[in-house]
Chain A
Amino acid sequence: MSSRRSRSRQSVSTRITDEQINELISKLHAVLPEARGGDNDRVSAAKVLQETCSHIRRLHREVDDLSERLSELLDSADLNSAQAAFIRSLLM
């Protein structure tokens, strides 16, 4: 545990330290698909936030597109057997 604490000059009631924020940014970076090289130590927070936003927008679009595709597939009678097979595959 680092000895540097509470470098924050913000109000006493919140006590959000830069360290804590860096840690959360790192965790966020770890969830993103693109892992640039191996040095994840000093990733620019602004960069991470930007990539996070792009990633979320991309995911929203995918949900949108997949919803449309599923609405087309709902008509096919084979969806039930596909669903059953899918669930089985999840259980294995």
Chain B
Amino acid sequence: MDSKSSACSSPNPNPTLGPSKLMLAFRFLRALSLVRRTTPASSRTCRGRRIERAAYASMAYTAGASRAWSRAVLRRLHHRARRRAVAPRRLSTTAGNRAEALRRLVPGGGGMDYCTLLEETADYIKCLSMQVELMQGIVDSASSYGP
């Protein structure tokens, strides 16, 4: 019998490309329109923060509930009790305290075992990169259309 640890199996074999990119774009652009409508032009800092939150929200919703990091992001956004703070650190004793710095950077990283942390990190980076690409693309388009 194949003795694969369940902690290391990948539940999501599909790469996050193609349709996900489009979903991400729609979500984010819709959020942008909302921010534009509901935030006065005078409060630019406030707008910036709201756009940033919209970015992480779009990312997390597009990734779905199957990822620990996206669930952590949505939890954090909905509670908004702390700003960009660290998830409560529950150091898992089985995998040790390895990669402490990484745990602080990946949403929900504090409560994950080492294997899960590595998997989640790879997915988080892919989604983050996609989000950055999207935002850069919008900025570029807007710049070329500018007055």
User: Using a CB–CB distance below 8 Å, which chain A residues touch chain B?
Assistant: 5-6, 10-11, 13-17, 20-21, 24-25, 27-28, 31-32, 49, 52-53, 55-57, 59-60, 62-64, 66-76, 78-79, 81-83, 85-87, 89-91
Question: If the complex has contacts A21-B118, A31-B126, A85-B141, are A66 and B135 also in contact, measured as CB distance less than 8 A?
Answer: yes
| B85 on the A face (CB < 8 A) | no
Report A-chain residues with C-beta under 8 Å of the C-beta of B95.
14, 16
Question: Cα distance A62–B139 when bound, in Å?
Answer: 12
Please, which residues of chain A bring their CB within 8 A of the CB of B25?
86-87, 90
Q: Does B65 contact A (CB under 8 A)?
A: no
Interface size class on chain B is 35 or more
> In the complex, A73 Cα to B47 Cα: how many Å?
11
Residue of A21, A75, A76, A90 touching B115 (CB-CB under 8 A): A21
Chain B residues in the interface with A (C-beta under 8 A): 3, 5, 7-8, 21-22, 25-26, 29, 32, 35-36, 41, 44-45, 47-49, 51-52, 55-56, 94-95, 99, 101-102, 105-106, 113-115, 118-119, 121-122, 124-126, 128-129, 131-132, 135-139, 141-142, 144-147
Return chain A residues, CB-CB under 8 Å to B44: 71-72
In the assembled complex, the Cα of A83 lies from the Cα of B111 at a distance in Å of 39
In angstroms, Cα B49 to Cα A25, docked, is 33
